[in-house]
Amino acid sequence: MPLSRTQSKHGTRPVLILMLFFAVARLPLGCHQQPGESSDPQLKPIQEMIDQQLPVGTTDASVQSFLSARGYTIETPDKPGTLVATIRHIDAQTVLPVTARVTFYFDANGKLNTYEMHRVFNQRIP
């Protein structure tokens, strides 16, 4: 009995193994970002400040106090258990401002779980 083009004398198993190998090889390795981690190098100082000053487990009230004391704008959250702030930072080396919109996520006990940030257009300081 002749073999078809898609079959070999060993069946389709080697072809499937080869396809699986190439599919796995395409997965990004070592590129996974932690929550709150930004790929934008200008946001790194903001990320480092938040990681240092507001570790996981910080209370909602402490986060609000930290943000208010530094004059950062706190927005009305879209959903419960979140806090949204606009953080403006001026890079000491380039003397250029960068602004991030940071969403803080809290657990049912009001403790900080994680945060995410996105760069936004710089706005004039009132």
Identify which has the larger pLDDT, 84 or 97: 84
Distance CA(41)–CA(79), nearest Å, equals: 29
**Phi and psi (nearest 5°) for 27?**
-65, 140
Q: Are 112 and 57 in contact (CB under 8 A)?
A: yes
Q: Residues 29-52, buried b or exposed e (16+ Cβ, 10 A)?
A: eeeeeeebebeeebbebbbeebee
pLDDT (average), residues 96-123: 91
Q: What is the DSSP letter of 59?
A: B
Tell me which range, 40-44, 97-101, 111-115, is most confidently predicted by mean pLDDT: 111-115
Residue pLDDT, tens place only, 33-83? 344 455 678 899 999 999 999 999 999 999 999 999 999 999 988 889 999
Residue 45's SS3 state is helix
User: Looking at the predicted structure, is the pLDDT value of residue 14 above 80?
Assistant: no
10 Å CB burial of residue 102 (0-12, 13-18, 19+) is buried
- 85: confidence class by pLDDT, cuts 50, 70, 90: very high
